[in-house]
Amino acid sequence: MITIIKRVKELGSNALIASREFRDYVEKQETEINRGISSLCILSTIMQSKEKELHGYKILKDLTEKTNEMLVIEEGTLYPILRKLEQDNIIKSRREESGRKRKYYSMTEYGKQVFNHLAGFYSKLTEAIAPLFDVKVDLQQDKYFYCPMCANKIDLSNTELKFCTICGFNIEQELIERGLRNE
Amino acid sequence: MSEKEMNYKIKEYLKEVKNKLPEWLKDKKEHKEILAELEDHIWSKAEELSQTGQPTLDSVQIAIDHMGTPESIAKEYKRRGTPKVYITEELWPYYKKVISGVFSLIILITVIVQIVNLIFGNLETIWDGIMGIQIGLLIAFAVITIVFVALSMEGYFPEDFMSKKELEKREKEPGRAVEKEKSLKPFIKPLGEIIGGSLGLIFGVFLIVQPLPFIFSIMDIEFRLFLQFAGIFIIAEGVLDIIRGLIGYRQPLAHQVIHAITVGVKLASISVVILMMNRPDIFPILVVEQPSGVLTNIGLAPGFYGLFRGIAGLIIVIVALSTIDNFYKIYKLESYKK
């Protein structure tokens, strides 16, 4: 991960950033925060892509663009993360038969469910901690429903879904009560 | 020329990455795929960075810079496993197994050597043997711990040491480990057996060596011989317990055989108690003489001979009854064979 602090090139001699101790501490903290969310952001990039499958370089490009270059992964370190996700059966890969023989990645069905749950958890967590930083988080509750039991992120456009796929909670009843679905 | 240089630059970078990759990954063919993927990434990036759409030497260099250092790439591959006191959770059970196995082996070999020495009357080496056990355990602990910490830092998993065949077999049997644990766990606590067996070993060695001369020297020589025989039986039982602990949850048949041998050892040890039962006159009663404070063996008063025989008889009954536990385990293990 490339941290924000690492990207600061010009150091004011009197600024706090000139202190080695400060830089090291802040960089370590930023790395820790980035590490936790990087896998989730990579999965999100694959999930949200209009293309069925993406190669590593495209994943990185989309990720950098979508996060306004805030979450920049050291490019070589993307592949160990992809490998881990593949081994955990979250994503699957296919190698091109001809040409550059690129490796294309896509989500597995299991991976999609894992992602929805983690995305829900992360969204609710972000919403919950937002007041601590005096920021506002819009969870787009007209598009998504977050399971009250397990925080699973459920796309409301899927009108067939009656139960949470993670915990089995009856979401239809809940949606009717909240006026998000008709009886 | 330029394309050659670009190729050379990329190959050099990939060579460095390969050198830094953890050994467990280098052993697999997979590392070639990893390097190919990195190479493709560099070319794609270099193409994009160059204004003409054709990679240039400069754009290749920038693309390589963006990839990060070979160390940082390798570090990410090594970030594997769940940390647990410097040794990952995945390697922890194997660490414990290796430690207990090596410890038992050191103790066993030293004890056997010392018993041989004892048989040939070479009593001076006994203390050397005990010291040898201590030093051996200390060195083994240090070496094994360092190796496992290093393996954890490199991101090794137990499966990295398995052969292809073993891995294929494992993959074909999903939930194998869970099932095994569920059904076999109740019949043995390996660590408990190893600890119990080790304690038995130490006590047995103590009885054979009789290291406290101010106590043992005032005892009857025949009684001391009985104690040494008892020590041999206790060591034998300890060794059998350790072996069962090392076998762990596997091979119920081996457990049954060892239980059967244990029954034999227990019953044989009764002979020592019977011999002792018939010699109450040599049983030591140690008292501190006043006012001199000297420890003296006054022996058992004839009036207590009956009580002594009764207690010895009780010990015989307890030892005999304890074999029921072994028979029960032999019977119980039958169901685990399935």
Residue with the bigger pLDDT between B147 and B249: it is: B147
Is it the case that residue B83 has pLDDT exceeding 80?
no
The average pLDDT across A92-98 equals 87
Judge contact between B223 and B300, C-beta under 8 A: no
**Structure token digits, residue B124:** 């001076």
A75 closest CB neighbour out of B17, B34, B66: B66
Going B116 to B117 to B123 to B127, the CA torsion angle's sign is: negative
Q: What's phi and psi for A71, nearest 5 deg? A: -100, 95
pLDDT higher than 70, residue B124: no
CA distance B38 to chain A (A): 7
Facing A102 at nearest CB: one of B38, B40, B76: B40
pLDDT above 90 covers what percent of chain A?
43
Cβ-Cβ contacts under 8 Å between A and B: the total is: 54
Residue indicated by tokens 């060695």: B205
The residues, any chain, with a CB within 8 Å of residue A163's CB and separated by 6 or more, are A169, A170, A171, A172
* Residue in B43, B76, B80 closest to A77 by CB: B76
pLDDT of residue B309: 86
> b/e for A157-177, b at 16 or more Cβ within 10 A?
eeeebeebbbeebebeebbee
Please give the single-letter amino acid code of residue B158.
Answer: P
- pLDDT score recorded for residue A4: 65
The structural domains of chain A, ordered by start, are: 1-107 (1.10.10.10), 109-183 (no CATH)
Q: pLDDT tens digit string along A60-75?
A: 999 989 888 888 788 8
Average the pLDDT over each of A117-121, B6-10, B154-158 and give the range with the smallest value: B154-158
Q: Which residues of A touch B (CB under 8 A)?
A: 55-57, 60, 74-77, 79-81, 83-84, 95, 100-103
Residue A56 has its nearest CB partner, among B37, B66, B70, at B37
Q: Given an 8 Å threshold on Cβ–Cβ distance, is A79 in contact with B17? A: no
Angle at B203 between CA B234 and CA B278, to 5 degrees: 55
How do residues A104-136 score in pLDDT, each as one tens digit? 999 999 999 999 999 999 999 999 999 999 999
**Phi/psi-derived region of residue A47, left when phi > 0, alpha when psi is between -120 and 50, beta in every other case:** alpha
Q: What is the ipTM metric for this complex?
A: 0.71
**Which of A47-61, B104-118, B303-317 is the least confident region?**
B104-118
- Note the helical H segments in chain B: 2-20, 23-26, 30-49, 57-67, 70-78, 92-119, 125-153, 164-172, 176-184, 190-209, 213-216, 221-247, 252-277, 305-336
Domain ranges of chain B: 2-78, 82-163, 209-338
Sort out which chain A residues have CB atoms less than 8 A from B79's CB and list them.
80
Instruction: With CB atoms and an 8 Å threshold, state whether A79 touches B37.
Output: yes
B68 chain-A contacts, CB cut-off 8 A: 74-77
